Every structure is written in structure tokens, then in C-alpha cells.
Structure 1
């Protein structure tokens, strides 16, 4: 069974679980059904939806939460980094720290971010890394500099809270 919690942030920036479901599989149709149930129960779409990179869930969010802003969870992306980039680079250099410093830098603009990303990727000879190419292509869905005007109230790491809920249940 797949555990799907609906977690948000209250006015005090504390995590709140609005609901949860157990699903038999991870298909777009089942996620669409679930999101419609959520919408029916709460009467309005969430302003922001943060998920992992599951394609079926992304399809469902796009179909049901048409007024919501959909972003990707930074925690999941960071967790994948060690699987997607050579361990010698991740653990034997300062690449990971420099990437985090770049991604979380609130003081740069888009052009500077892109220039520094490209320079970092070239410096570590990662230009052919398919995952990093894809992450750069979808940078507007997970890099904070690309949505400075959106109040996320700490939501970019909410999915990690959902992971701890899964472990609890």
C-alpha cells in the first residue's frame, strides 16, 4: 500500500496533516481520484502543491489542481543526488556543498544562477550526466530563485515531513 499524506504549514509555520490515504498503486487515475476527493472535502485547491518527481502524481496535480502552483520537494532531489552523481565527486570534493550553496542562494538572479550552474557542471565534468541535465531543464520547478515571488512558508521541504509520517504509520 502507498501512504499518501496531505501535509501543510499552518500560520505558525508548523506542519499539519490535513488528511491521508492508502492507495493500491501509483497511477495517474488513482491520484486524480484522490485529489478530487481532497478537493471535495476541503472545497478549494491548495495554493501550492509540493511533491516528489512521480510522473503519475504530477499528471494528477496538473489535471485536478489547475489553480495551484506545483513545485518539487528539495529534500527528495537532494536525496537523489548521491545516487545520480559519481560517489567520488559527491564525497571526495566540495561539489555537493557548492551545489547546495548555489541552489539555496536567495541573493542571485536567474542569469547568475544559470551561469554558475553551468560553470560548476563543467568544472566537475558532469556535462553528460543525464539527471543533472534534466534537473537543469526543470529548474523553474525546484530552484527557489525561479519563484522568489511565491510565498512557500517552508513548504519546499514538506515532503520530508511526509516521509517521517510514513515511517510513523
Structure 2
């Protein structure tokens, strides 16, 4: 099916969507009063962020991608979040492009992720200067004894030169 222009296609799709029980929004955007503060926080605390897609939305089991960081008080800050349809290369391309645009094009220095192959591929192509680390999950979940965890934590900090990251 072909349409003469985008407006006609959008109108048709809206009518079709409405007939089967859903709707679409074109160019929907929401600016929050906290966006400025979030941007300032990202600019100050961009040295290490964590992107985790292991959270799933209950019923549909859709991945929820979170971009998290820590401030000087070791409080968690959310820099971005997205509900994803799937975890394929194209989805992560769009996710990281959108995140980078939202952060004025500034890439994080280090990103800690789960072991998703598609995400790793996109990070290697998109954020060339960002250090991508997969050690975070194993450090957090592979140790039952506190002393073992602390040793692994310090090894990870040393490996990625994060010892003085207060």
C-alpha cells in the first residue's frame, strides 16, 4: 500500500489503529521542569553510568532500559529510561542515539552493562571513546561472602582505574 504523502498515510494509520483498538501520537514530546537539573547532573557525573535492560515490564515482558549514575553523595540518579520492544541492534542504535541527543551529544566515559551482545555491538560502534564494562553483573551477583565481594569490587575499580572516583 502506498500513499501520496506522510499526512495521508498518518491519517489512514490513525483510523486503522482506532478501528482495532489503539492510537498513535506523532512527534509527542514531554519536557519536565527537572530536565535542566538532570542535564546538569549528567554533565557533572558522566564518568560512569550503568545501563541495565534486565528489568521487564510485567505482562508483556518488554525490557526497560535504565541509564543510571551516582552523584557525590552516592545517591542514584536516573539520566534516562526507555521501554524497549526487543533487544536487537536496531533498537539499541535508536536508544543510544536518542540518549546521546538528550545529553547534548556527550558520551559517558564508562558504561557498565549486562552481557547483551546486541548492546555491546552498538556500544562498540557508537560510543568509541566510552569504556564498556561487563564486569559489573558478575561482581555484584557472583559472590555470596562479603569479603569475596569486596575483593572483586576493588579488583574491578583497579582494572578500570576508578579508585579515586568519589
1:6–1:17 Cα contact (<8 Å) kept: yes
| 1:48 and 1:152 in contact (8 A); partners too | no
Q: Distance in 2 between matches of 1:13 and 1:73?
A: 20
Give the superposition deviation at 1:151. 5.2
Q: CA RMSD in A?
A: 2.7
Contact 2:64 2:81 in 1 (8 A): yes
TM-score (norm 1): 0.51
Indicate yes or no: 2:97 matched with 1:36.
yes
Decide which structure has greater strand share: 2
The answer to whether 1:22 aligns with 2:109 is: no
SS at the partner of 2:132?
Answer: strand
- For residue 105 of structure 1, report the CA deviation from its aligned partner: 4.4
* Correspondent of 1:71 among 130, 133, 136: 133
Q: How does 1:19-168 map to 2 (within 5 A)?
A: 19-43=80-104, 44-74=106-136, 76-78=137-139, 81=142, 99-100=148-149, 102-105=151-154, 143-148=156-161, 152-153=165-166
Higher-RCO chain (CA-CA 8 Å, sequence separation at least 6): 1
Larger radius of gyration: 2
Aligned residues: 104
Cα deviations by residue, 1:135-157 (Å, 9 ceiling, x for unpaired): xxxxxxxx33322356555xxxx
Unaligned 5+ segments in structure 2 are: 1-61
SS in structure 2 of the partner of residue 104 of structure 1:
helix
Q: Does 1:3 align with 2:16?
A: no
Residues in 1 aligned to 2:163 and 2:93: alpha-carbon distance in whole angstroms: 25
The alpha-carbon distance between structure 1 residues 50 and 79, as it changes in their structure 2 partners (threshold 3 A), is: closer
- Distance in 1, Cα, partners of 2:80 & 2:147: 37
Q: Cα offset for 1:78?
A: 4.5
Aligned CA distance change for structure 1 residues 40 and 105 (closer, same or farther; 3 Å): closer
